[in-house]
Amino acid sequence: MKSAICITGCTATGKSKIANEIAEIRPSVIINADSIQVYQCMRVLSSRPSDDDFQNCENRLYGHIECGVDYSVGKWLQEVEIAIKYAHSRKKTPIIVGGTGLYFSALFKGLSFIPPVSKETKKKSQQLRKNSPEVFLIDLKANDNETYKNIDKQNVVRVQRAWEVFTDTGYGLSYWQEKQNSPFLRNHECKRFIISCDKSILEDNISNRSHKMFEQGVELEVKSILNSNFLSNAAHPAHKAIGFSAVSEYIQGKLGLEEAISVINVKTRQYAKRQRTWFRNQMHDWEILELTTKAGLGEAAKLIDSK
């Protein structure tokens, strides 16, 4: 038996449903690999599976972090190792599922040691992000061109982090990323799949998800976050949760319902495109499973289980 089954893919491709289908075929523990779904306060925003979805199987690392607590890939790596060992101790298959490619990269390639950033640098970077975020890329291009060439320039949080690391240590992220710990899992020990689907199916799934968010009360979830003091932290995950800004503007009367849904659809499609780029560049040795119909989730689960 393989040590684990790993399932990733673009948002709204049905990854979690496939994991649940596999869990009905074999004794399993489903383990989250989505950096937003770890937070308690963002179940609807993150499309985190509900308790009903998990009624037939165990799960780990979903909604277990309070909203104001910082969470990192390093912390996830510690917790996922415990969850995998837990599953093995009970003769169950760990199914690690989610769309955060960085988590899987750390799991199979090891995690770089990056020194903690000083409070002074963190404070300065938050001020820059608020007033002059373009400075991050300008400085990286001038001083840390290797990181500048490889970083996702649309990911403001990652760009800010790269700027902080260089400013504080004098070395770029690319330097520190070469100093990696040994990976916890080996490629040959696991089944690893990227779920892909036809563009029209993906766009339908995204649209359906956006409407469902409002049916499930996403306004109340966003209001609760807005009324907290967490948002003063520019790195808080709510800032990068797809739909948070659009729902906030809907609550404030700046957008109508259909306008907000349209914005969420566009942002989600853009995110899916960035995910595809990551998978293509960083996970080219994973097997791609192409879903040609919406009914293909069950067949995909059977195929993964049989390999």
Interatomic CA distance for residues 121 and 163, integer angstroms: 9
Interatomic CA distance for residues 126 and 132, integer angstroms: 10
For helices 73-89 and 101-109, give the axis angle rounded to 10 degrees: 70
Residue 211 and residue 150 share a domain: no
Percent above pLDDT 90 for the chain: 74
Residue 143 and residue 269 share a domain: no
Return the pLDDT at 234.
Answer: 64
User: What is the mean predicted confidence (pLDDT) over 98-114?
Assistant: 90
Return the pLDDT at 181.
Answer: 75
Return the pLDDT at 232.
Answer: 67
Residue 296 and residue 207 share a domain: yes
Residue 55 has pLDDT above 90, yes or no: no
Q: In this structure, how many other beta carbons lie within 10 angstroms of the beta carbon of residue 195?
A: 23
User: What is the mean predicted confidence (pLDDT) over 25-31?
Assistant: 97
Please enumerate in sequence order all residues whose Cβ is within 8 A of that of 179, keeping only pairs 6 or more positions apart, or say none.
112, 113
Please enumerate in sequence order all residues whose Cβ is within 8 A of that of 91, keeping only pairs 6 or more positions apart, or say none.
27
Residue 28 in 3-state DSSP? strand
Return the pLDDT at 205.
Answer: 96
CA neighbor of 108 nearest in space, from 180, 33, 179, 183:
183
pLDDT in tens, 123-174: 999 999 989 999 999 999 999 999 999 898 988 888 999 999 999 999 998 8
Residue 203 and residue 75 share a domain: yes
pLDDT in tens, 259-306: 999 999 999 999 999 999 999 999 999 999 999 876 689 999 999 999
User: What is the mean predicted confidence (pLDDT) over 5-12?
Assistant: 98
Interatomic CA distance for residues 222 and 237, integer angstroms: 12
Helices (H), the chain: 15-25, 73-89, 101-109, 119-131, 134-143, 145-150, 156-169, 173-177, 199-215, 218-226, 244-251, 257-282, 297-306
Interatomic CA distance for residues 21 and 87, integer angstroms: 17
Residue 193 and residue 103 share a domain: yes
Return the pLDDT at 116.
Answer: 84
Give CA separation, 170 vs 40, 65, 151, 165, 181, in Å: 36, 32, 18, 8, 21
Residue 283 and residue 145 share a domain: no
Return the pLDDT at 28.
Answer: 97
Residue 65 and residue 33 share a domain: yes
pLDDT in tens, 201-248: 999 999 999 999 999 999 999 999 999 877 766 667 888 899 999 999
Residue 158 and residue 63 share a domain: no
Q: Write down the pTM of the prediction.
A: 0.83
Residue 136 and residue 98 share a domain: no
Residue 102 and residue 29 share a domain: yes
CATH code where residue 245 lies: 3.40.50.300
Q: Which residues of 1-30 are buried (b: 16+ CB within 10 A; e: fewer)?
A: eebbbbbbbbbbbbbbbbbbbbbeeeebbb
Residue count of the chain, please give it: 307
Task: Return the higher-pLDDT residue of 236 and 92.
Answer: 92
Give me the domain span that covers residue 103.
4-111+181-306
Residue 200 and residue 85 share a domain: yes
Residue 170 and residue 207 share a domain: no
| Total number of domains constituting the chain | 2
Return the pLDDT at 184.
Answer: 83
Residue 1 has pLDDT above 80, yes or no: no
